[in-house]
Amino acid sequence: MDDEEDHQKLPDLVKELILRLISQNNNNTIDSPNPNSSHFQSSLRYAHRILSSRLTPSVSPDAAAIADSVKRRLATQGRSSDALSFADLYTKFASKTGPGSVNNKWAVVYLLKIISEDRKNTKNLDTSVLLPNLGLSDAQLGKGSGSRVSRGVEKGWNNGILLVAKDSENRREIAFREFVNLVKEENEVSEEVLVRDVIYACQGVDGSYVKFENDNVGYVLSDFVKVPRATRTMVHKLCELGWLFKKVTGFISRSMDRFSAEDVGTVGQAFCSALQDELTEYYKLLAVLEAQSSNPIPLVSESASSGNYLSLRRLSVWLAEPMVKMRLMADLVEKCRVLRGGAMAGAIHLHAQHGDPLVHEFMRRLLQRVCSPLFEMVKRWVLEGELEDIFAEFFIVGQPVKVESLWREGYRLHDAMLPSFISPSLAQRILRTGKSINFLRVCCEDRGWSDAAAEIATDIGATARRGGFRYGETDTLESLVDEAAKRIDKHLLDVIYKRYKFKEHCLAIKRYLLLGQGDFVQYLMDIVGPELSEPANTISSFKLSGLLETAIRASNAQYDDHDILDRLRVKMMPHESGDRGWDVFSLEYDARVPLDTVFTESVMTRYLRIFNFLWKLRRVEHALIGAWKTMKPNCITSNSFTRLQHAVKMQLVSTLRRCQVLWVEINHFISNLQYYIMFEVLEVSWSNFLSEIDVAKDLDDLLAAHEKYLHSIVEKSLLGELSQSLYKSLLVIFDLILRFRSNADRLYEGIHELQTRISESSVSSRNQSKSRKQLVDKSVDQGSWIADGRKALTQRAGEFLRSMGQDLDAIAKEYSSLEEEFISQLPVQQHVDLKFLFFRLDFNEFYRRVSPN
Amino acid sequence: MDPEAARTARESLDLAFHMSNILDTGLDRHTLSVLIALCDLGVNPEALAAVVKELRREKNSLSSSVPAAPSSLS
């Protein structure tokens, strides 16, 4: 077809169309359309104007899409069968191609669609328009008749009952319109805009009406905007979320800034990242909401103009759950602002005890993230002994110390960083396990623990894969720690027992420091005794070391391990002027790493105290034995005194007797004390100690057992705080005994000399004549005894014996008073074992009878 | 125009008329054919629809005024 032809055809067709349409109007006059009538002419003009005004369609020429929308509309109207048949027809229509078919198919379908819609609208309009028209006509009628009162009745008469309803609906419509106007007047801002603003506010961005105000500290709807109070309240409520959000993001960004300053710590970082993940969820929701906010509500009838999908109310429902979470997060952020590490985890954990499953689940998720660095640290610590804690967040703190105090002071629990979900006892176990590893590594230079650790790791690895090693799995943590502790401790004890021979060293200390090796002590006492009687400052410790060596060689100690004997040394304590060697001499045992963890300096000091006491006791015993050697009755043959005067002889015998009695009494005391110390104290404590070593599970148990052992020795040997007065009086008794010994020695020396003189004088009297000259020379040489002659001899002897007797009397008196005092103190002591000592000393209640009070 | 083309044209018109009926446009066959012809000439369908609508409204106002007259008389 030509363009020209088209141009010619177009007006013809339009004319035809108008003719058809107008002719339709007057159904009764179909066949008489008057093309020249004014009505037709005006219609034609009108049509041309319309056609020329819209040259391009407003939709894209896509027939299928238009047909689809028609079909959907039919379906939503409930005419599904029509929709199906329409679709069917359309596919057929679209398949018609070639000459004779419709070229502009989309236009035809679109045209049909529009006409159909128009027609429906006009129909609706018709019904709504028609009725007011009637009303209008009623009004006209009313005006015409002049009686408004009877209008309804007339209507009822005229148009049936329908008319009554008409009027009321009219009123309702007016009311609706008024309401709409009112709402429009009140709401300067439409709800959509408010929803958008609220969504912005929830992301911490100022909207056009809802803005963040610093003095109000929160998002508020500007006061200048006119909205109903209810809306304002709702906006305010919803905007709380924005405030909380700002707080949380503020915390995160502040923490992020400080990451470089190494102030936040790994737990803080984990917390931030967990919060960010939660916020990502929140962002997703907001994105969805924002997309929804511009969508209209899909309604069944299309004519009803619906508002946007997202109203403020819907928004408040949507945001209810995020609000709870956000509140929680803001709360946590507030709580954790100044906290770090374990303390932070603990604070968050306190919030996890919540009945609400939502909150509970949320907190669990959060805590799993937050605690993961902590648990990683625990794992490293327990399995490898590494304290990987650059930010000081872990509940175990290490400090650089000397090797020997590594176990006791090297590591400790940091209570503030201990999260409450790890019980103190568990924390203690964790601490000890890692400490054991470090101890093995540093002090024992042992690598065997790594095998044990690897074993645990594989064992636990299996369970960890099953259950996971994280927050909420405290059982797994406990089993890991227990398992690790069990193996590491076992290994540690093995090393200490087998490689470092702990028991052997303990035994050596008992033998040498606690004087358990009798022959050695006896021999040592014998050979160092003369040396120690010298003033302390003249004694050379080298010489004493040599003597110690000799003593070892001479006694059974020589068969002991060389390693042990090497560690035994002489130690001279700091001395003051006037001190004798006895006061400063002591033995020392060098424990060396790692056993110095057990035998620390303070422990060795206590051993030293015990040694000093025992050494004194031994010395006294030794002295008594020495005295006995001279006092043995068969050494003094009484027949040599027969020639003495009777009085002197009696004096001699009674002095000797007194001396013997005193010795026996002292000996009773000392030997019982000695027995008590050796058997009731040392051996009993030792056997307890041994049994405790056998059941000890870790180094702490071992230390405790040793401590108990030492403590019981100290307490029972009268060295404790409570028995200080007892100890002092004991020392006084020891001094007295030593004085007794020197007195007894002097006495017997005197007696021996006397004896010699007497025998000599008897010999000389027999040979008087022969050797007078010789005797005179001799007497001049030998002193005064013989020179004074026999009488003088007797007199001297009497004097000597008297003074010795007086001395002995004094000593005996002092001794008995001291012993009485000592024994009277025994029953009030707290130790049960001291009571045994009392029974032993006073077995026949002799002393009790002497002092009845 | 060959008979094949005429047949296709008639069938197309039939189909369009059916659709028109389903959509309840109230158009008769002849008017529809005129409209299709106009569409084929490239006239904007929106404009055509507007013409149909306007002219029908006119018709309605006329027809409503006609029955209104007797009611006012009564």
What's the average pLDDT block by block, 10 residues per block, for chain B (74 residues)?
79 85 82 84 81 78 50 37
Residue A82's closest chain B neighbor by CA?
B22
Per-residue model confidence (pLDDT) at position A151: 40
Mean pLDDT of A750-754: 80
Angular region, A655: left φ>0, alpha ψ -120 to 50, beta rest: alpha
CA atoms of A294 and A287, how far apart (whole Å): 12
- Could you tell me which residues come within 8 angstroms of residue A164 by beta carbon, excluding any fewer than 6 positions away? A152, A155, A156
Residues A704 and A847 in one domain: yes
Per-residue model confidence (pLDDT) at position A533: 83
* A27-35 LR contacts (CB < 8 Å, sep 24+): none
The first and second tokens of residue A754, run together, are: 């006397």
| Domain extent at residue A408 | 371-499
Residues A233 and A260 in one domain: yes
Per-residue model confidence (pLDDT) at position A305: 47
How far is A35 from chain B, CA to nearest CA, in Å?
15
Three-state secondary structure call for residue A411 = strand
Confidence check: pLDDT of A227 > 80: no
Residues A493 and A514 in one domain: no
| Interface with B, mutate which of A115, A133, A136, A145 (most B CBs under 10 A) | A115
Q: Which residues pair with A221 in a beta bridge?
A: A210
CA atoms of A653 and A642, how far apart (whole Å): 12
Cβ contact A54–B50 (<8 Å): yes
What percentage of chain A exceeds 70 in pLDDT? 79
A142: phi then psi, degrees, rounded to nearest 5: -55, -45
ipTM of model: 0.80
Residues A270 and A304 in one domain: yes
Interface of B with A in 27-56 (CB under 8 A): 27-28, 30-31, 34-56
Residues A62 and A203 in one domain: no
Q: Where residue A144 falls among pLDDT bands split at 50, 70, 90?
A: very low
Per-residue model confidence (pLDDT) at position A705: 92
**Residue A300 forms part of a structural domain:** yes
**Tens of pLDDT, residues A718-737:** 887 777 888 888 888 898 98
Per-residue model confidence (pLDDT) at position A517: 85
Three-state secondary structure call for residue B23 = coil
CB-based contact A620:A738 (threshold 8 Å): yes
Q: Where residue A851 falls among pLDDT bands split at 50, 70, 90?
A: low
Q: Which residues of A touch B37 (CB under 8 A)?
A: 9, 13
Per-residue model confidence (pLDDT) at position A226: 74
Interface of A with B in 54-83 (CB under 8 A): 54-58, 70, 74, 82
**Residue A380 forms part of a structural domain:** yes
CA atoms of B34 and A22, how far apart (whole Å): 14
- Could you tell me which residues come within 8 angstroms of residue A88 by beta carbon, excluding any fewer than 6 positions away? none
Confidence check: pLDDT of A767 > 80: no
Q: Over chain B, what is the mean pLDDT?
A: 75
CA atoms of A549 and A570, how far apart (whole Å): 10
Per-residue model confidence (pLDDT) at position A776: 43
Q: Do strands A568-572 and A411-413 pair parallel, antiparallel, or not at all (unpaired)?
A: unpaired
How far is A43 from chain B, CA to nearest CA, in Å?
7
Q: Where residue A635 falls among pLDDT bands split at 50, 70, 90?
A: low
Burial of A145 (0-12, 13-18, 19+ CB in 10 A): exposed
Per-residue model confidence (pLDDT) at position A29: 43
**Residue A347 forms part of a structural domain:** no
Single out the residue in A146, A167, A190 at which a domain terminates.
A146
Residues A431 and A515 in one domain: no
Residue A284: count other Cβ atoms within 10 Å of its Cβ: 10
Single out the residue in A335, A357, A384 at which a domain terminates.
A335
Mean pLDDT of A494-502: 86
Q: Which residues of A touch B69 (CB under 8 A)?
A: none
Measure the CA dihedral A792/A797/A799/A803, to 10°: 160
Per-residue model confidence (pLDDT) at position A54: 64
Mean pLDDT of A94-111: 76
Q: Name which of A537-541, A789-793, A799-803, A817-821 the model is least confident about.
A: A789-793
Mean pLDDT of A452-471: 64
Q: Where residue A686 falls among pLDDT bands split at 50, 70, 90?
A: very high
Confidence check: pLDDT of A415 > 80: yes
Mean pLDDT of A776-785: 44
Interface of A with B in 126-185 (CB under 8 A): 126, 130, 133, 137, 140-141
Q: Where residue A707 falls among pLDDT bands split at 50, 70, 90?
A: very high
| Interface with A, mutate which of B10, B11, B25, B60 (most A CBs under 10 A) | B25
Confidence check: pLDDT of A379 > 60: yes
CA atoms of A460 and A463, how far apart (whole Å): 5
Per-residue model confidence (pLDDT) at position A146: 40
Residue A637: count other Cβ atoms within 10 Å of its Cβ: 10
Element (H, E) at A542: helix A541-554
Confidence check: pLDDT of A687 > 90: yes
| Chain A CB within 8 Å of residue B69 CB | no
**Residue A621 forms part of a structural domain:** no
How far is A47 from chain B, CA to nearest CA, in Å?
6
Residues A449 and A508 in one domain: no
Residues A815 and A679 in one domain: yes
Confidence check: pLDDT of A853 > 70: no
The alpha carbon of A418 is separated from its chain's Cα centroid by a whole number of angstroms, namely 3
| Chain B CB within 8 Å of residue A427 CB | no
| Interface with A, mutate which of B44, B53, B57, B74 (most A CBs under 10 A) | B44
Residues A117 and A207 in one domain: no
Three-state secondary structure call for residue A586 = strand
Sign of CA dihedral A428, A434, A435, A437: positive
Q: Which residues of A touch B29 (CB under 8 A)?
A: none
Residues A487 and A441 in one domain: yes
Burial of A276 (0-12, 13-18, 19+ CB in 10 A): middle
CA atoms of A619 and A727, how far apart (whole Å): 16
Confidence check: pLDDT of A51 > 80: no
The alpha carbon of A105 is separated from its chain's Cα centroid by a whole number of angstroms, namely 79
Q: Which residues pair with A704 in a beta bridge?
A: none
Half-sphere exposure of A579 (CA within 13 A, CB side): 15
Per-residue model confidence (pLDDT) at position A153: 39
* A474-481 LR contacts (CB < 8 Å, sep 24+): A474/A421, A474/A422, A477/A375, A477/A378, A477/A422, A477/A426, A478/A426, A480/A379, A480/A382, A480/A456, A481/A378, A481/A382, A481/A426, A481/A429, A481/A430, A481/A433
CA atoms of B58 and A18, how far apart (whole Å): 12
Nearest residue to A653 via CA among A673, A638, A635, A670: A638
Cβ contact B41–A130 (<8 Å): no
**Which of B67 and A697 is assigned the larger pLDDT?**
A697
Burial of A395 (0-12, 13-18, 19+ CB in 10 A): buried
Angular region, A831: left φ>0, alpha ψ -120 to 50, beta rest: beta
**Which of A709 and A451 is assigned the larger pLDDT?**
A709
Would you tell me the crossing angle of helices A357-384 and A424-442 to the nearest 10 degrees? 20
Burial of A131 (0-12, 13-18, 19+ CB in 10 A): middle
Q: Which residues of A touch B24 (CB under 8 A)?
A: 116, 119-120
**Tens of pLDDT, residues A550-596:** 888 888 888 888 888 888 888 888 777 777 888 888 888 887 777 88
Confidence check: pLDDT of A129 > 60: no
Confidence check: pLDDT of A143 > 70: no
Q: Which residues of B touch A46 (CB under 8 A)?
A: 51, 54-55
CA atoms of A675 and A843, how far apart (whole Å): 14
**Residue A750 forms part of a structural domain:** yes
CA atoms of A786 and A778, how far apart (whole Å): 9
**Residue A602 forms part of a structural domain:** no
CA atoms of A393 and A411, how far apart (whole Å): 14
Q: Where residue A150 falls among pLDDT bands split at 50, 70, 90?
A: very low
* A473-482 LR contacts (CB < 8 Å, sep 24+): A474/A421, A474/A422, A477/A375, A477/A378, A477/A422, A477/A426, A478/A426, A480/A379, A480/A382, A480/A456, A481/A378, A481/A382, A481/A426, A481/A429, A481/A430, A481/A433, A482/A429
Task: Please list, residue by residue across A6-25, b when 16 or more beta carbons sit within 10 angstroms of its beta carbon and e when fewer do.
Answer: eeebbeebbbbbbbbbbbbb
Residues A301 and A244 in one domain: yes
Confidence check: pLDDT of A748 > 80: yes
Entry pTM: 0.62
Confidence check: pLDDT of A685 > 70: yes
Cβ contact B51–A47 (<8 Å): yes
Residue type, A344: M
**Whole-number CA gyration radius for chain B:** 17
The helix, strand and coil proportions of chain B, stated in percent and rounded to the nearest 5, come to 80, 0, 20
| Chain A CB within 8 Å of residue B65 CB | no
Mean pLDDT of A230-250: 86
How far is A175 from chain B, CA to nearest CA, in Å?
28
| Chain B CB within 8 Å of residue A474 CB | no
Q: Over chain A, what is the mean pLDDT?
A: 77
Q: Angle at CA A831, nearest 5°, toward A830 and A835?
A: 100
Confidence check: pLDDT of A59 > 50: yes
Number of domains composing chain A = 5
Sign of CA dihedral A245, A250, A253, A255: negative
- Could you tell me which residues come within 8 angstroms of residue A256 by beta carbon, excluding any fewer than 6 positions away? A272
Confidence check: pLDDT of A161 > 60: no
**Residue A289 forms part of a structural domain:** yes
Cβ contact A102–B12 (<8 Å): yes
Single out the residue in A313, A335, A357 at which a domain terminates.
A335
Confidence check: pLDDT of A688 > 90: yes
Q: Which residues pair with A413 in a beta bridge?
A: A396
The helix, strand and coil proportions of chain A, stated in percent and rounded to the nearest 5, come to 75, 5, 20
**Residue A296 forms part of a structural domain:** yes
How far is A96 from chain B, CA to nearest CA, in Å?
7
**Which of A627 and A770 is assigned the larger pLDDT?**
A627
Per-residue model confidence (pLDDT) at position A706: 92
Q: Which residues of A touch B19 (CB under 8 A)?
A: 86, 89-90, 93, 109, 112
Residues A401 and A328 in one domain: no
